[in-house]
Amino acid sequence: MKKIINNPSDFVKESIEGLIKSHPDVYAISKDNDRVIIKAKKSVNKVGIVTGGGSGHLPVFTGYVGKGFLDACAIGSVFASPSVDQMLSAIKNADNGNGVLCIIGNYGGDVMNFEMACEMAEADGIKTKKIIVADDIASASASEKAKRRGIAGMIFVFKIAGSFSETGASLEEVYNLANEANGNIRTLGVALSPCILPEAGKPTFEIKDDEIEIGMGIHGEPGIKREKLKPADDLVDDLYKIIIEDSKLKSNDIISIMINSLGATPLEELYIVSKKFNENLVNSKIINIKTYVGRYATSMEMAGMSITTIKLNKNLEKYLFAASVCPFWNN
């Protein structure tokens, strides 16, 4: 294992401290819990937007705290859910008296702990609602969409909910728009090599040098299939067909897309993917109004990438592109 770290057990603590010292105008640590990241300057008179999840995926989850995004985030150990207490702290820190929307990736521990935290918050007089993001096409069939994992598509939901909440919209209104966005996202990825967890010191899975795995999860969960490495255009064609069929996108639909590195894959390779995917969209007469390319939801140093689409209408488009303050997002 080669990593630029100190003691592996301090990995999460020191990375959080570094994030805040690098961007003190955006992030702060909650006074009541050092695993809860909040805005440096708390917003008022708005619905609070909260998430939480394991470390090892930066910018997800903590990186998306900021104006027009999240108000607070609970962060667990590497690839591990935050505790109920951490999630409850995030909810309380985000609350302005207008209720809190919790946006949760569809992982058992995250969902269970947030459900308990929301019940405890409700007992303390804080109104809450939950959206469970399940955009990973590879993890379940369309008929069992509720079983799908939440991956890079959750960032679109964070952004739309966060920006809409800044307008003073009610909890019910923010929930409805975020839920609409959640229903319109699809993600599919491919892994080329594993990552190594700092305290484990060994790869999360094994894969041959000439193999790729379609649909592998961000924690090394099994994907759809393993196959031989192929040219980028052929790979993109395969992923494109699956995404379009599942999302039922058609001619003249308006979308935005995200080409996301899982950690180690460089921008040059992502732009090769973007080139082919955008060419396919043009051929299908699907209108892509913005392409996001970069590291948005990672898995330590895993090599690979994911492609996310979101079908837009005027309202979703307005808040996706609304101004925000976040070091990891460029409108």
In the set 219, 276, 295, 311, the catalytic residue is 219
Hey, is 82 helix, strand or coil? coil
Active site residue 23: no
Q: Where are the alpha helices (DSSP H) in the chain?
A: 11-22, 84-94, 108-123, 154-165, 171-183, 232-247, 267-283, 314-320
**Order of strands, edge to edge, in the sheet holding 100-105?**
27-29, 36-39, 72-78, 48-55, 100-105, 128-133
185/312 Cα distance (integer angstroms): 10
Residue from 23, 35, 39, 57 carrying the catalytic annotation? 57
Cα(119)–Cα(125) distance, integer angstroms: 10
Amino acid at 138: A
Beta carbons of 278 and 161 less than 8 angstroms apart: no
Three-state secondary structure call for residue 213: strand
**What are the residue numbers of the active site?**
57, 219
